[in-house]
């Protein structure tokens, strides 16, 4: 199983352009990519040089690793640096056919998705909408719902391409990213959003102290806000809910708690009352050398562009400010 088509697309080359660079007929390149032809040593060397890799990286056995905690099941896959990550399919949300089945450390492949694929871990719901728009542009974006610190850990360990962070101001996010990642990463401020108190019924501030609060897991921006309120209000009655801002809002709507910290967008979506507490800068973190990948730059340009700005303008509690970015 080779990577000719994947690396060609990563560099933004058509088969015709690769043909001109390598002096290999386009029909031959097409046959190699589809598995109908095996390249000669000469052709393999030319392709590797044009695609900026070694012959071994292009045609050798590819290293793969299961996503953190993935033991067995159907998967889709994507490339991060020099290894392929096998990601478990969520059958209720899957937009792709499974690429294979993983069990006891072995992968049985059915087919291989050839769309350029990138992964984002964070808790911003607008990325789910973004993934649908990017699919129309021929790019697959996998969105994984995780708190900020966990997303940074996965980015550092090479399991994902992008991490979403919202632990306060832009400067606070930079400090956190630097402590997790070190050098060689970009931090881009995309927008600001409002987090606050969501409730099913109207309570006075005094009544809120005795109600059952729902708190997100450690390492999330919402948990940080909750801990600040917990200290100020002497809150004692709470339980932790994993699964993101939407899970908090859904749990409140279903009566599993009385009060929780979530975003304004999710609070209103689930018919809850909302009291704003804090505006936070939402930042995107990724390895700086990914900017050599033309398709990845298309993703970043989309996030910075007018279409994404217009999308956010329709979501309550979002505010698009001037873009800022730093290289760690």
Short-list 53, 56, 94, CA closest to 73: 94
Looking at residue 161, the DSSP 8-state letter turns out to be: S
What is the arithmetic mean of pLDDT over 75-88? 89
Is the pLDDT at 291 greater than 80? The verdict is yes
Q: What is the band of 92 on the pLDDT scale with cuts at 50, 70, 90? A: low
What is the arithmetic mean of pLDDT over 106-128? 85
Q: What is the pLDDT of residue 94?
A: 60
Contact 160, 153 (CB under 8 A): no
Angle at 193 between CA 191 and CA 195, to 5 degrees: 160
Sequence ranges of the chain with CATH classification 3.40.190.290? 117-328
pLDDT digits (tens, 9 = 90+) for 181-200: 999 999 999 999 999 999 98
Q: What is the pLDDT of residue 166?
A: 93
State the CATH class of domain 4-59.
mainly alpha
State the CATH class of domain 117-328.
alpha beta
Is the pLDDT at 311 greater than 80? The verdict is yes
Is the pLDDT at 87 greater than 70? The verdict is yes
Say how far apart CA 33 and CA 230 lie, in whole Å.
58
pLDDT higher at 262 or 125:
262
Averaged pLDDT of the chain:
88
What is the arithmetic mean of pLDDT over 257-264? 93
**pTM for the full model?**
0.80
Sequence ranges of the chain with CATH classification 1.10.260.40? 4-59
Is the pLDDT at 327 greater than 90? The verdict is yes
């Amino acid at each position: 199983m080779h990577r000719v088509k994947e690396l060609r697309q990563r560099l933004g080359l058509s088969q015709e352009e690769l043909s001109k660079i390598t002096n290999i007929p386009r029909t031959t390149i097409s046959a190699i990519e589809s598995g109908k032809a095996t390249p000669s040593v000469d052709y393999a060397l030319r392709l590797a040089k044009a695609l900026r890799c070694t012959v071994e990286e292009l045609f050798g056995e590819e290293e793969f690793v299961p996503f953190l905690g993935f033991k067995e099941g159907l998967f889709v896959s994507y490339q991060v640096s020099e290894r392929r990550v096998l990601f478990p399919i969520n059958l209720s949300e899957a937009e792709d056919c499974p690429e294979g089945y993983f069990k006891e450390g072995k992968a049985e492949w059915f087919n291989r998705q050839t769309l350029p694929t990138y992964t984002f871990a964070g808790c911003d719901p607008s990325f789910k909408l973004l993934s649908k728009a990017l699919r129309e542009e021929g790019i697959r974006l996998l969105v994984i719902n995780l708190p900020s610190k966990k997303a940074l850990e996965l980015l550092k360990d090479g399991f994902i391409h992008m991490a979403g962070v919202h632990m306060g101001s832009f400067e606070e996010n930079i400090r956190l990213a630097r402590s997790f990642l070190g050098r060689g990463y970009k931090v881009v401020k995309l927008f600001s959003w409002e987090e606050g108190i969501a409730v099913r019924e109207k309570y006075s501030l005094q009544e809120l102290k005795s109600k059952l609060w729902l708190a997100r897991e450690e390492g999330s921006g919402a948990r940080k806000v909750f801990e600040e309120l917990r200290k100020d209000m002497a809150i004692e009655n709470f339980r932790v809910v994993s699964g993101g801002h939407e899970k908090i809002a859904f749990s409140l709507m279903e009566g599993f708690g009385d009060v929780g910290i979530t975003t304004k967008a999710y609070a209103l979506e689930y018919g809850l009352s909302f009291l704003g507490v804090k505006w936070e800068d939402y930042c995107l973190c990724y390895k700086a050398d990914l900017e050599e990948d033309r398709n990845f730059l298309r993703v970043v340009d989309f996030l910075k562009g007018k279409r994404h700005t217009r999308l956010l303008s329709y979501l309550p509690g979002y505010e698009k400010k001037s873009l800022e970015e730093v290289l760690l």
